[in-house]
Structure 1
Amino acid sequence: VLLSLVLYLERTSKPRIVTLAPDPRLPKHAFSSEPEVTQCPQLRFIRIDGSLFFGSVAHVERGFDLLRARHPTQKHLAVLADGINFVDLQGAQALADEAKRRQREGGDLYLINVKQGLWETLEACGCIEARGARNVFRGKEAAIHAIYQKLDKVVCATCDKRIFHECAAG
């Protein structure tokens, strides 16, 4: 039984963190995890596949730290949360802490496709308040539209990537 528990914790303590971006080669610019897909210089999308709990928080926080260190201009981070199977209070707090770090740096954290269990845990730990609830979206289109409004328009004006439909109109 102990060995089974150890193996379970080893497997679940390292959820996958996958970078995504709209792929112009796919219908409706569906999101892709292909490394050659161009990234927005200000906004990164990731998907977390697995549980956010006391046993995985250190791994996820290291992932957030690496993203901030490797991509300092991407101050905005959107997490596709439909891959998060379970979250406890420590996992919810890790998301709230990352949001605070990014806000201090002039960006923010956004959650997309949040399952009911994650929402309830975020509320229980006080991580969702009026401001935080505005950063939770049902889908990518609504998220992109809202987040685009918060991006630095000076950077957008000189950007030639045009990742999102909003970029062409901006």
Structure 2
Amino acid sequence: MWLPRLNRGGRRPAKQSISHGTYKQGLTSVKAIAVIISAGKWAQLNGHISGGYDAMSSLLSSSEPPDAVFVANNLMTVGALRCLADRGVDVPREMGVVGFDELPWADLIRPSLTTVAQPTYELGRMAARLLVDRIASPAAEPATVVLPAELRPRQSSAP
């Protein structure tokens, strides 16, 4: 889980718009991530439900728990949400939650879950194309392909 430090001193700003520019800026802010990691604001366990639960429990028990979390995968998101519910933490009023990868049930739970969707079909198509190209030309230079992700804001990250 990646943990942004938001406004811990009180309410979050009244209304924040999430745009591609601010999202991209946040993802490319390597210095901020490094500070968070070095300051102990990073929790990573196994990539399963229990790992998400345990990581969230650890973060909530820290001396300065975060205002929001970015959870790395679907199973850890389930565990993190279960831990928050068990501890009575109100999402999003007390803790913002963003999951990675679009979940089929993201808009079915309450509050609905903000996610970062990756283009899974295009990812598979591109991987197959790169494999065919590699088989056809094994000596060719490796290719780097960057596919766009899409932030899908919902209620779990509302200010």
Regarding TM over 0.5, the answer is no
More helix as a share of residues: 1
More strand as a share of residues: 1
Where relative contact order (Cα < 8 A, 6+ residues apart) is larger, the structure is 2
TM-score, normalization: structure 2? 0.40
Larger of the two Rg values belongs to structure: 2
